[in-house]
Structure 1
Amino acid sequence: MQQTRNYEFTIIVPVYNEEDNLANVEEKLACFLPHAEAKACVLLVNDGSKDSSLEKIKEICERQPDFFYISSSENHGLSTAMKAGIDAAESTYIGYIDSDLQTDPEDFNELLPFRTDYELVTGIRANRKDSFFKNFQSKFANGFRRMMTGDTATDTGCPLKVMRTEVAKKLPFFDGMHRFLPALMLLEGGKMKELPVRHYPRTAGVSKYHLWNRLAGPFKDCFAYRWMKKRYIRYTIDEQSVEK
């Protein structure tokens, strides 16, 4: 039996060249699991790391009974890693946190109480510990995205989220979709709630984002989303004689 089925909540952690951060990931998440608001496990998603991340991931999963992993030999990007984790998870709810741990796993307990009422519960990074230029890029990209998509999300880049698994599996994924989770949830008729969470500076490893993929990527993706939104298939079945 797939192990995540034994849990209510699976925390998906995409990993790409984070060998220096994985000891911290293990420590923080292992400390969180025993007092999580839902019975929880961790699913580490190795996205084609070129360093020793995969070896460290395997060692962690041997030590920690509530840690599991999936791995790809090629790097596909954050959206694909998230999609792979969502497809692999069989718990009722899934969470997402970045392996740089600039957000705190403990703050999942701020989001989880709302999981039954909202398909997406997401954090807003309070008192962000990034540089002025990085914050400016993020605010500009968020503002442009809201204008193009019509969603009301304050901080789509916050790497701390809780979603209902069955709805997350229905979302139309494409490269860059991690920036559009609130908008995609709206397409599925889902409800979203935002809550402030803590934010910390990166202490190890190197950020995978720069000016080009922080601004130019979202700019192009917004037009892709608008194209998809007009063609998105929605329907309901009002009557049927087919037994489930």
Structure 2
Amino acid sequence: MFTILVPVYNEAEALDDLKNALLDYLKIAALPTMVLFINDGSSDESLNLIQSYSESYKVFQYISLENNRGLSTALKAGIDHTKTEYLGYIDADLQTKPEDFNLLLSFLPEYDFITGIRVNRQDSFIKKISSKIANTVRNWFTKDGLKDTNCPLKVIKTNVAKKIPFYKGAHRFLPALVMLQNVSVKAIEIPHYRRIKGYSKFGISNRLGTSLIFCFIYLWMKRNKITYTITKQD
């Protein structure tokens, strides 16, 4: 089975469209699928909407954080509560579409982690530039070979996801953090769409500062990772 994680922070305007898109996807999903909304301390009507969806549809569940803790924490909470063999992640803004999960799922079980690469980005100039700068900085440090590590459409084996070391800002480094486990990673191109409702919560300031700090943390983790091989056992 497959669980789709949907972190939500003040996305009330977009949630009805997202709910409908997810219901449409469930009709064609490559695997039996459920959806787990993670309310990240929203101050708008997001939680009320998520609760109503969960009451109306058995395939929808939710958890709600006491206050806003950021995307990495929301993802960590969702992963901790996932019980299916596979999980995926999508943003609530519908700039990536649920139906494209099937493109990623087609590479299971051969790969442990499959991530999208957004083509024809439909973002503002500022968001495109900030994303490009952040990806360039991350790639210089991590050497993960991926040009769009922050694409909000991913599929991962749950047992791999539960071993990811999460810190603030870790969501921007998921492929590199997964690679610390010496597992197989695949990146494929997916369509990208213009945000119709709501607004982005990220920009240059909250991308680059945290990302740069985490680059140094990642290097320390990579260099000090504990590995060993057992040659004899009694």
Shorter-chain TM band:
over 0.9
The Cα offsets for residues 161-188 of structure 1, whole Å up to 9 and x where unpaired, read as 0000001101111111111111111110
The Cα offsets for residues 219-244 of structure 1, whole Å up to 9 and x where unpaired, read as 12111111222222234555656xxx
Which secondary structure state, in structure 2, belongs to the residue aligned with residue 21 of structure 1?
helix
| Aligned-partner Cα distance in 2 for 1:169–1:239 | 29
> What is the TM-score of this pair, normalised by structure 1?
0.92
Aligned with residue 168 of structure 1, among 138, 142, 161: 161
Query: What is the total number of aligned residue pairs between the two structures?
Result: 234
Aligned with residue 100 of structure 1, among 79, 93, 96: 93
| Aligned-partner Cα distance in 1 for 2:163–2:153 | 20
**In the alignment, what sits opposite 2:140?**
147
Moved over 3 A (4+): 235-241
Aligned with residue 208 of structure 1, among 198, 201, 207: 201
Please, which runs of 5 or more residues in structure 1 have no aligned partner? 1-7
**In the alignment, what sits opposite 1:47?**
40
Q: Does residue 1:178 correspond to 2:195, yes or no?
A: no
Aligned with residue 113 of structure 1, among 101, 106, 111: 106
| Aligned-partner Cα distance in 2 for 1:125–1:209 | 17
Q: Does residue 1:189 correspond to 2:165, yes or no?
A: no
**In the alignment, what sits opposite 2:20?**
27
Q: Please state how far the C-alpha of 1:25 moved relative to its aligned partner.
A: 1.3
Does the Cα contact within 8 Å between 2:130 and 2:203 map onto a contact in 1? no
Which secondary structure state, in structure 1, belongs to the residue aligned with residue 159 of structure 2?
helix
Letter matched to residue 143 of structure 1: T
**In the alignment, what sits opposite 1:70?**
63
Please, which runs of 5 or more residues in structure 2 have no aligned partner? none
Does the Cα contact within 8 Å between 1:49 and 1:73 map onto a contact in 2? no
Does the Cα contact within 8 Å between 2:104 and 2:188 map onto a contact in 1? yes
Q: 1:57 to 1:146 in 2, by over 3 A?
A: same
Which secondary structure state, in structure 1, belongs to the residue aligned with residue 92 of structure 2?
coil
| Aligned-partner Cα distance in 1 for 2:53–2:180 | 37
Which secondary structure state, in structure 1, belongs to the residue aligned with residue 105 of structure 2?
helix
The Cα offsets for residues 98-149 of structure 1, whole Å up to 9 and x where unpaired, read as 0111101000010001020111101011100012222121111111111101
> What is the TM-score of this pair, normalised by structure 2?
0.96
